[in-house]
Amino acid sequence: MRKKEIELIPDVKCVVMPHNHNHTKPDLTNFRKASSEVMAILAQHATIFERASIDEAYIDITANVKRMIGLPINKSKLHKTYIAGYEGSQEEQIGAWSEHVTSSTHHSYDYRLTLAAVYVNMIRAQIVAETQFTCSAGIGANKIVAKLAAGTHKPDAQTPRTLR
């Protein structure tokens, strides 16, 4: 960053990336290692695992969610979860969502989406415990919906996207 730009944005923090031996390209060795650690945890939980980039993947947890059907929804298991399309604080969103889901059948999309959010929160907690890295997640019926939801509450949060 040039001096002029630094003067315009005095609070900016510049980080120098390590470079390869002839200083022509950034050395991504540490990033690749960290990515591999996180991806290995994600793969443990997925029936289908698709790595999209060094820091993004899609996982299918449908089978895991099906095994959870019938369990009650515990709001404390939805820590750092924001519901796409709901307004208010995280606690207000979870409160309103929980009321809605409680009145749903165990086979409704929203009930299963909530179970998926509980499961993804467990995966995210495992990633933090084993790697000390946080991550964000989008949860939805398909990759496009999940991708759109993933960008809405960063960093270190998750967003399920309902069908409505």
Q: Which residues are catalytic?
A: 56
CB 25 within 8 A of CB 80: no
CA distance 137 to 149: 8
DSSP 15-41: -PPPB-TTSSSB--HHHHHHHHHHHHH
Joined tokens for residue 89: 């604080």
Name which of 33, 22, 118, 134 is nearest 69 in CA terms. 118
